[in-house]
Amino acid sequence: MIAPDAINCNVVITPSEIRIKGVSNVPTNRAAWLSQRKSVLTVGPAPYSAPQKGQILIKNNAVSINPLDWIVQIGGDLAYRWLRYPTVLGSDVAGEVVEVGSEVTTFKVGDRVVAHCVGSDKDVNTPKEGGFQSYTAVLEDMAAQIPESMTYEEAVVLPLALSTAACALYQKDLLGLELPELTSHKRSEVLLVWGGSTSVGVNAIQLAIASGYQVVSTASPHNFDFVRSFGAKLVFDYSSPDVVEQLINALKGKTIAGAIAIGETGARSCVKVLSECKGNKFVAVATPPISFSYLAKNEKSQIQLLKFAALLISKNIALGVLATASRVKFKYIFGTTLKNNGVGRYIYRQYLPRALEEKIHIPAPPPRVVGHGLEAIQEALDIAKAGVSAEKIVVRLD
Ligand SMILES: NC(=O)c1ccc[n+]([C@@H]2O[C@H](COP(=O)([O-])OP(=O)(O)OC[C@H]3O[C@@H](n4cnc5c(N)ncnc54)[C@H](OP(=O)(O)O)[C@@H]3O)[C@@H](O)[C@H]2O)c1
């Protein structure tokens, strides 16, 4: 038991202090476990792990679903084959800081935060850093305070999509653009964001605008106003047969800052557009030329997996051939690489808290809360897998 005096004196006792005092009531953790490839999530007890150096421990109030979550679940050996099972998936959490590890300077117990969990990353590979549980240890560099007025459900749509967009735009091995600022210096160069209504897309548009660039984008017509509301000057229908020509015409005389390709038709189309533009002929690619939605829609037998793998390889080779012939470079984005460089630190610790406070960066697309509790996460994965348009599937945990 905690000493009554401590309670009366309003002293905040953290879970690690409770452990030091030898008291047994360490918080109970539970997780939505993925016990093996292609299994459904099952909820059960999980270890409660103290944060390590440079980490904070979050009590998760909301989690959101990314395509990566269901891709790993159904993708067999094709995605994240390094994962050790049982594992805990989930990249996006929002909640309250309950413990801080050593050398953490930005956060204190009680802070309301949003964070990108990197437990599935190859060099981390641990369930304790996965999002789909009650308590997650996250890196200080991949977390940000959120405004008092913002709900956890609103904030939780951000992390992986924001990280992926930031990776593409700012990492030196990708587009290497100027970092976003609260007061941006206007530039004449144009960034092409293919797939502006996706979660990654709306974050890329907002970051690019805050870096001073102009943005031209693509989406389905019913999302044109949505995409424009984040600052894109022109939006084109990505399924229109002459969309590449339309973009080439719109970009005539402009200097291109590069492109981010989101959605399976994005990479080839962006290569074709940039081959006709002046400026940075570089495409940062988020989605391979055949999307994993193919697997979601087809029977997931071993034969289908092999067929998908063969298509993936052949379409990648074709993309490489097209890019070489067009003198356009491209590179795949890996959203969690942000954790290893100063871009992540800048975006999460310096830029985001103030950009959210000043409404320069709006968490988007809006959340669709589909359930409550860890037990609701499998259904949330199934809803996301069936396809979403300009919305993020969210589960409330508390
Ligand atoms: N490499 C990485 O590190 C990384 C990280 C995160 C995500 N991703 C990938 O990035 C993609 C987007 O992820 P997300 O979470 O942002 O997805 P999302 O929001 O769930 O994507 C849904 C949106 O995709 C759009 N879309 C579908 N096909 C498209 C196409 N051919 N061209 C342009 N837009 C298209 C739809 O737009 P409309 O409704 O307007 O038709 C829909 O709004 C996924 O393929 C995901 O796997 C990669």
Distance of alpha carbon 74 from alpha carbon 85, whole angstroms: 14
Q: Which element (helix H / strand E) includes 381? A: helix 377-385
pTM for the complete prediction?
0.94
CATH 3.90.180.10 in the chain: give the residue spans: 4-158+363-396
From first to last of its 398 residues, the chain has per-residue pLDDT tens of 233 333 333 333 344 443 444 445 789 999 999 999 889 999 999 999 999 999 999 999 999 999 999 999 988 778 899 999 999 999 999 999 999 999 999 999 999 999 999 999 999 999 999 999 999 999 999 999 999 999 999 999 999 999 999 999 999 999 999 999 999 789 999 999 999 999 999 999 999 999 999 999 999 999 999 999 999 999 999 999 999 999 999 999 999 999 999 999 999 999 999 999 999 999 999 999 987 887 777 666 778 888 888 999 999 999 999 999 999 999 999 999 999 899 999 999 999 999 999 999 999 999 999 999 999 999 999 999 999 999 999 999 98
Residue 276: count of CB within 10 angstroms of its CB: 17
Spatial CA neighbour of 165 closest among 379, 344, 382, 383: 344
E-strand ranges in 14-103 read 29-33, 42-46, 55-64, 92-100
Number of H helices, E strands in the chain: 14, 16
**What distances in angstroms separate CA 33 from CA 36, 68, 75, 125, 318, one per listed residue?**
9, 15, 16, 14, 38
HSE, side-chain direction, 13 A CA sphere, residue 90: 35
- Ligand 1 pocket (Cβ < 6 Å) reads 66-68, 160-161, 164, 194-195, 197-200, 218-220, 223, 238, 262-266, 286-287, 291, 333-335, 388-390
CATH classification number, 4-158+363-396, choose in 3.40.50.620, 3.40.50.1100, 3.90.180.10, 3.30.470.20: 3.90.180.10
The CATH homologous superfamily to which domain 163-336 belongs is: NAD(P)-binding Rossmann-like Domain (3.40.50.720)
Pocket test residue of 200, 218, 285 for ligand 1, highest count of atoms within 8 A of CB: 200
CA-nearest residue for atom 44, ligand 1, is 287
Residue 300: per-residue pLDDT: 66
Residue 27: count of CB within 10 angstroms of its CB: 13
CA-nearest residue for atom 41, ligand 1, is 220
Give how far the C-alpha of residue 197 lies from the chain's centroid of Cα atoms, to the nearest Å: 14
Contact between 121 and 90 (Cβ < 8 Å): no
The one-letter amino acid at 18: I
CATH 3.40.50.720 in the chain: give the residue spans: 163-336
Residue 298: per-residue pLDDT: 67
